[in-house]
Amino acid sequence: MTLAFGAGRDETPPMADGPVTEVEVQRHGREPGRREDRVVVEEPMEIRLEFGPLEARLGKSVSITMRTPGEDFELASGLLFSEGIIESAAELKGVERCGPPAAGRSESNVVKVSLSPEAEIDPVRLQRNLISSSACGVCGKASLEAVVPAEPVGPVPAGPRLSAATIQAWPARLREGQDAFAATGGVHAAGVFTPGGELALLREDVGRHNAVDKVVGALLARGELPVGERCLVVSGRTSFEILQKAIRAGFPVVAGVGAPSNLAIELARRFGLTLLGFLREDGFNVYAGEERVE
């Protein structure tokens, strides 16, 4: 099933009123002088949830997350799915912006997600009412119980079987799709790769966890969860939260250009994922699930 995101479809242009802006800087050293520099945009986005029976709808602010504008509807729905607040796209009644435009922008930074009347809400999963920085989404959770990973949408597949050459080609192919990073050097990326090494989907954001939520939201809208034998590749380190989002979406393989944390390794081993770190064109480390690497 393909999900149409409400009446206010998210069509933020990638390079206008979106993830990149220009500022004036004073350059020292080589080629000194004043010039324009392109930098990544970071702004807060509030996610509001509307749920309950039609005759008695309830509203709740779920999260304020620091993010890079663009694919905001994917970010909102992906976060709700990753957190276990919704179980499928069928529970989404609509996604739209609400409120006046943010200062200096043409759109509001408030996104309202309306759930179907039949959707059941777990109050524990809604305990995220604090600001979530672009560095760490877990920081915004209101209780330790809310840190427990939501159940995966299905069993983790036994495959794929990946060659070292296929894996080592991922970083270069990920960079090829990172337009905002090429312009600013200041954003992370999350990419979905097929077992054959094709980059099927890529999203960028100043927050690593936001980039993954945008990917999950896009897959949710396309009706492509669980993901089957496709692989998740992130441009930075792999933390606990990156792994819990990957597990929720059904990724069997997660790879990071940076290092994993000990909790990420524990989660990967517990749920049967393959976890790769220090991914480079000339090698990588396998921290869990080496049976999927030839």
Residues annotated as catalytic are 136
Torsion of CA 289, 176, 74, 273, to 10 degrees: 0
Alpha carbons 220 and 192: distance in angstroms, whole number: 13
Question: Which residues neighbour 23 within 8 Å (Cβ) at sequence distance 6 or greater?
Answer: 36, 37, 39
Pairing of strands 253-256, 20-27: unpaired
Assess contact for 252 and 270: CB atoms under 8 A. no
Rg (CA), the chain: 19
For tokens 């080589």, the residue is 30
* CB-based contacts of 74, cutoff 8 Å, min separation 6: 10, 203, 213, 214, 215, 216, 217, 218, 220, 221
Residues whose CB falls within 8 Å of the CB of residue 138, separated by 6 or more in sequence, listed in order? 147, 239, 240, 241
- Structural element, H or E, at residue 269: helix 262-271
Residue pair 209/137 in contact (Cβ under 8 Å)? The answer is: yes
What are the residues whose beta carbons fall under 8 Å from the beta carbon of 286, sequence distance 6 or more? 274, 275, 276, 293
